[in-house]
Amino acid sequence: MKRKLVFATHNAHKLDEVRDIVKDNFEIVSLTDIGCFDDIEESGSTLEDNARIKARFVKEKYGYDCFGDDSGLEVDALNGAPGVYSARYAGGNGHDSEANVKKLLHEMEGASDRKAHFRTVIVLLLDGKEYQFDGRVDGTITSTPQGNDGFGYDPVFQPDGFDKTFAQLGMEVKSEISHRARAVKKLCEFLKGF
Ligand code: IMP
């Protein structure tokens, strides 16, 4: 029988990505699948903290081995902001991508150093041990939004080696080189060998 492992997310796209790769070894289930609809508070001050908070919440409340993830955009000229606050950079409950992008471009007005990177951290709790996997993609912040694909800061993030933003390049490129794809790849390599 395959081992059950919870991915502390409701995001179907993220689930599919991992499920497909580790399907021979693990049955990956979501928070929805285990009936967890709690609003897990992302109260950490780092991406690592938040990924760990999500994984530990599930382990402690439901007893399942689990992994959680957190991602963010870290901009050099802003000393790593918005970072862990990426989703709620412009305030409110967050996830207002248009407002977040607008604030970012405002903060970057006149900045000559436009270097930035996306980072994803995954924390896995398995057999009483904790493991961490991370992924990163480097690039620059454009001066105006370009492209319609993707979400979040994709319209203003141009990955190194490309002359288009993530929102112009689309999923095919993103699923190869994104921070999330790179962290997930490391997690899956680890799980496949288990
Ligand atoms: P999450 O941890 O994957 O939910 O990401 C937190 C926030 O970081 C999102 O709400 C976005 O604002 C930003 N973010 C993370 N990954 C991406 C990405 O691939 N493209 C654009 N924005 C992202």
Residues 177/86/39/29 CA torsion (nearest 10 deg): 0
Best probe residue, ligand 1, of 31, 70, 86, 157 (max atoms within 8 Å of C-beta): 86
Minimal CA–CA distance to 128: which of 192, 54, 64, 70?
A: 64
- Which positions are annotated as active-site residues? 70
Q: Are strands 115-126 and 3-7 parallel, antiparallel or unpaired?
A: unpaired
Q: If you take atom 3 of ligand 1, which residue's CA is the nearest one? A: 71
What is the chain's alpha carbon radius of gyration, rounded to the nearest angstrom? 17
Minimal CA–CA distance to 142: which of 116, 171, 173, 119?
A: 116
Q: If you take atom 10 of ligand 1, which residue's CA is the nearest one? A: 87
Ligand 1 site, CB within 6 A: 70-73, 86-87, 95, 100, 118, 150-154, 166, 178
Q: Dmax of the chain from CA atoms? A: 58
Q: Do residues 124 and 3 lie in contact, with contact meaning Cβ atoms separated by under 8 Å?
A: no
Question: 186 alpha carbon to ligand 1 midpoint, in Å?
Answer: 19
SS3 83: helix
What letter does residue 46 receive in the DSSP assignment?
S
Question: 71 alpha carbon to ligand 1 midpoint, in Å?
Answer: 6
pTM given for the model: 0.94
Q: How many CB atoms lie within 10 A of CB 92?
A: 10
Q: Are strands 26-30 and 3-7 parallel, antiparallel or unpaired?
A: parallel
What letter does residue 158 receive in the DSSP assignment?
E
Question: 94 alpha carbon to ligand 1 midpoint, in Å?
Answer: 11
Q: pLDDT digit of tens for each residue in the chain (194 aa)?
A: 789 999 999 988 889 888 888 888 899 999 999 999 998 988 999 999 999 999 999 999 999 999 999 999 999 999 999 999 999 999 977 779 999 999 999 999 999 999 999 999 999 999 999 999 999 999 999 999 999 998 999 999 999 999 999 999 988 898 889 999 999 999 999 998 88
Helix (H) or strand (E) holding 27, with range, is: strand 26-30
Q: Which residues in 14-30 are b (16+ Cβ under 10 Å) and which e?
A: ebebbbebbeeebebbb
